[in-house]
Amino acid sequence: MARTSSSSSSSSRCTRSRSSSTTTKNRYSRSCPSYRSRRSVTETRNPSRQSARIAQIQTNNVNRNNSVNPNDAVRPCIYASLGCTFSGSGGGYCRHITSQCVFKNVVGETHQLPSSLQVPAQTTETFNIPNPALNSNHIAASYQQWLNEDNPMEYHDYRTALCRCNRIETTADDAEESFGNVHHDHFADEYDDLVPDPDFDMNELLNDGQFGVQLNQGLVSRHSLMKYDKYTAFQAHLLAKIMQYRKVPLCLFDTIMSTIQYHALERDLNFNHKDIYRSRKSLLQHLKKIHGMQNFKADIIDVPISLNCMAGCVRFWTDEVIQRFFSDPRLFCNENIAEGYDVFTGRSEPSDFYGEIHTGKLFQIALETFRIFELKLMPVTLTMFIDETHTDNKGGLNATLVTIQYSHFNEETRMKTYSSFPIGIIPNLAYGVSKDEKIDSCKKVQDVHDCLYVILHRLIEIKNQGGMNLKVSGREVRAMPFIHLVIGDIKGHNILGAVYNDNSGDTCLPNRMCYCTEFFNPEVRFEWFKVKDFIDAKKKYFQMRNIHGQKTAAKEVMKSISRHPVKTVWERGVPLSSPIHGIYIALPPELLHTMGVGNCARIIKVIHDSIKDCDKHDVALIDRLHAAIYRDLKRNCDHDIPQTSLIKGSMESTKQGAVENIGNLLALLCISFTVQGKDLMTRSKLNNDEKDIATPLIALLAYTGWLHSTNPKVEVENAMPPFYDLIRDMKAFFDRNDGNGWDLPKIHGMIQMLECIVYFGSAKNQYGGPGEQSHKKYLKDPSNRSRRQADSFLTEVAARIKENVVIEASMESLQNQLPDIIDNMPVSSILKRRQVEIQTDLLSSQMSRMSLSPLTTIVGRPVGKYSIKMTLCETNGFKYFLKWDYNNKSKIQKSIGLSADLISYLSTTVTETCNSTTTIGYTCVSVQFPGLKEKTIIRCTDNHFDRKWYDFVSLKFGTKIVAAKVCGILVTGGEIRFVVHPMRQTSLPIDFDFDNDVERNFLRKFTLGDVRSITTVSVDKLISPLIVFSDYGGRRNDYVCLLPKRKWGKWFSNEIRKRKDWPL
């Protein structure tokens, strides 16, 4: 083949010597404009390596399932060098090659293509290549002929020439990625990029007519010329459309495809039918018509406010919302109604406990107020939740959600989010108001009450009409709905009661519910605030305000009762339980805001400041200890404790939730009980010989558990003295100097919670947790499916809520029609959450029936199977061989071992008479303990997500009940037995009960015995799960057991009953 020689200087840089087998490196100046690399490569061409490479190319292309890909090893490189473009044509490719294919490489040498790849001049031919194997052989043969020529041009040399023609920067690696995964085995093993050519003339290359028109227009992307089959095209199109939207879950595509697959294959759905192509809106209208939900509507009502503008409030149809509580079979059933209560008459069985709503005094007052027995009405007691929430991080889309709930659902049902429903939404009334613009607080409160009047107007009409007609369990009844209590935060309660929202020293009545002027005074009797006093003060205020010179005196009248002179919604006829105390008795404090974000957060700050003032490095030590205890508490079979947080450490309270603050306070208690933590608390002067920080913390946490328990009435009546002792200890141990110290409304709220138990039953009836969860369901989630524009925000949110109600109704129908695939249906997050809650309810009911058994039983099949072979050695030692079973396949995993205590126990089974034993074991099993509704998973493994997990239980050990560590689960004689390491029992009484001891002390230290005490027990010997963490700073086998939250109330009950003034 003809070849034009270049200058000697150029040839010496890029030629390959046939005789030399060494590789040399030359250095070049960086000043060259086309500088890309510093390396020149020379090596001997190896014919055997070339032949092997060609054979590999042919083999790879034959095995490509009858499809030709431009990424084939050789063809794309050669074709791209020739300026070819690729396009799909049947089963092969069309190859368009320009004429006179003669190229210059970067060193100025001219190479002409082999004759087998040339075409006549001034023509373009199309080669249809139907057979990829023949195509590969043809190219490989041409490639072999090309390599046999002197100085063949490298792949990346062609690519660089082409990119320079088009003024594209590239590297050899880029060229390799574009042309396919080509390994240049016949070239040097190491090279960087191309060698720069100082004689390279780009203009000459561009003007050279030998390149043809297609190269001057640029390289054509191979992706734009691919052709999919119709199935791949549909899936790729669907995936591309889905991924155009932000925050789309990755599983959405798989969910859609699985749904289509099920209905197409299993249910023989005809996708050519016209009804399958409904839009979302038309489908929802169709479902509304099917389920008869056309009357479920929401109105946008404009309310004039003090800013001389209109606020659009959302009001749902109250009649439909109330009817929903009694028409939904998943809500209204005998299992979900409070025990001992008659729904139709309002009568209840007498009880010696304060539990459900009807056990409180206020419900009996409500029955008399509305003459329920006399008029034979069905009482519909409603609990209202109202609170402002943020749906964005800028505060512009704030909204106040108003939901109601039927109060006579049992406690378990009321904790579910689907048991409540919104009746209205109040927009952000301060939208568009700058911080510099001061608005009178009285006008702000009046605006909120005007909006509430619009939302609650239908309840007023029902009261004036003497009730409403309802259909309950097929019966037509006359019902009287009324608001029994209102749950919210302190700020919201102050607005509802028109109370001053401050705690300054000159506030006459800082407590919204009573006449108390002090926050903590055991000698002062609690007295509820009366509506008549508020109305009389307002009348006097308006009379004096119109008299010249009496405006200041008029303000003093309202200041004496610490309330704004506004026309509240309650004065306009909203039905309330108490006609005397009105809304003021219906605004009880609740645990989340009173304790979680209130008193617990302040105690944590006092502890933080005390430690930091003594030694700021101790704060880091406390946080490290907290992280260690946090990991221990997470790895227990009993998880009934408030969850703590590691985000900002144990002493961060400003960016934590209410439950996390209670959990962090519990973590500080656990820290103070360890050897290392007690030393840190002593150094910070929180502990000394006269006081221990654990004393008030235990009492405070036990008090929170007791409030949410069902307690005897005699116990509640005698709970005030020990509670006052708790407040005194808090003020003595945690000296707070910020602001007003401990003179806070939330301290007084703790006292009010005791009074509210008498009127409303257990404090869990006033719990705001489900209401806070409803924000996610009814406001935050719908807001994410809106345009988030202020002018249409609530309109779109209301539309999404109505749509979700229709979807819920349709899914209830599908659960009966398609029960086998309901979990795979692409439903909204709200509905999915409801399904999980309902399934949890069903599982809990099943477990509750199983928990009636007096003995612990195994539930389901154990997992984590392994076999271990113990063999006696000649040196009186032993060795073992461990084999794991995974998906019915045995494999050896040397990195995963077993407990040393288990190995020590198994070594005792190897004797001289039986020098080899094989035992089957498991790492995890589920058991049902008596008295617990849910099953408990017991784990004993060295590698659960790369960390050890060994659970602790209390068990019957002779005549005692002791704590023990579960070291293993073995199969002996066809029975599952637990290998346990019990606690040291020295000096324990013969009737020792570890569970009772923990209930009395809240926390209890114990030490495991020596290895000789390890034994096996059957499952019926297990008594209860334990919450255990290591005693950091102590010995290796020292542990601390923590009382679970469900038993915290018992500790406070014991404190009440231990007092001398206990009447029984």
pLDDT digits (tens, 9 = 90+) for 462-480: 999 999 999 998 899 999 9
Pick the most confident of 286-300, 743-757, 962-976. 962-976
**Token digits of residue 378:** 């069905």
User: Residue 913: its pLDDT value, please?
Assistant: 59
pLDDT above 80 (res 574): yes
Region of 822 please: left (phi>0), alpha (psi -120 to 50) or beta. Answer: alpha
Q: Bigger pLDDT: 1032 or 874?
A: 1032
Give the residue carrying structure tokens 């009492």.
699
User: Residue 322: its pLDDT value, please?
Assistant: 94
User: Residue 52: its pLDDT value, please?
Assistant: 56
Distance CA 407, CA 331 (A): 12
DSSP structure string for 81-119 = HHT----EETTEEEEE--SS-EEE-TTS-EEE--GGG--
pLDDT tens digits for range 876-905: 677 888 888 866 555 555 556 788 889 888
Q: Bigger pLDDT: 523 or 120?
A: 523
CB 786 within 8 A of CB 797: yes
Distance CA 713, CA 1064 (A): 13
Question: How confident is the model over 743-767, as a mean pLDDT?
Answer: 89
Q: Bigger pLDDT: 913 or 498?
A: 498
pLDDT tens digits for range 1024-1048: 999 999 999 999 899 999 999 999 9
φ, ψ (nearest 5 deg) of residue 679: -65, -40
Distance CA 421, CA 402 (A): 9
Distance CA 105, CA 102 (A): 10
pLDDT tens digits for range 921-951: 999 999 999 988 889 999 999 888 878 999 9
Distance CA 665, CA 649 (A): 11
Distance CA 966, CA 978 (A): 7
**Token digits of residue 155:** 């792949």
The secondary element (H helix, E strand) that includes residue 960 is: strand 960-972
Among 69-73, 545-549, 1055-1059, the minimum mean pLDDT is found in 69-73
Residue 713: pLDDT band with limits 50, 70, 90: very high
Question: How confident is the model over 402-407, as a mean pLDDT?
Answer: 94
pLDDT above 50 (res 202): no
DSSP category for residue 138: H
Q: What's the distance, CA 419 to chain centroid?
A: 21
Q: Which of 717, 711, 606, 618 is nearest to 671 (CA)?
A: 618
Q: What's the distance, CA 269 to chain centroid?
A: 36
pLDDT above 90 (res 610): no
Distance set, CA 769 to CA 408, 487, 523, 600 (Å): 17, 10, 33, 17
User: Residue 26: its pLDDT value, please?
Assistant: 36
Distance set, CA 601 to CA 527, 607, 657, 685, 1045 (Å): 28, 10, 10, 20, 19
pLDDT tens digits for range 673-689: 999 999 888 888 777 76
User: Residue 999: its pLDDT value, please?
Assistant: 93
CB 777 within 8 A of CB 830: yes
User: Residue 645: its pLDDT value, please?
Assistant: 78
User: Residue 889: its pLDDT value, please?
Assistant: 52
User: Residue 308: its pLDDT value, please?
Assistant: 83
Q: Is 920 exposed, middle or buried (0-12, 13-18, 19+ CB in 10 A)?
A: middle
Secondary structure (3-state) at 681: helix
Q: What percent of the chain has pLDDT over 70?
A: 73
pTM: 0.73
Question: How confident is the model over 775-800, as a mean pLDDT?
Answer: 89
User: Residue 853: its pLDDT value, please?
Assistant: 57
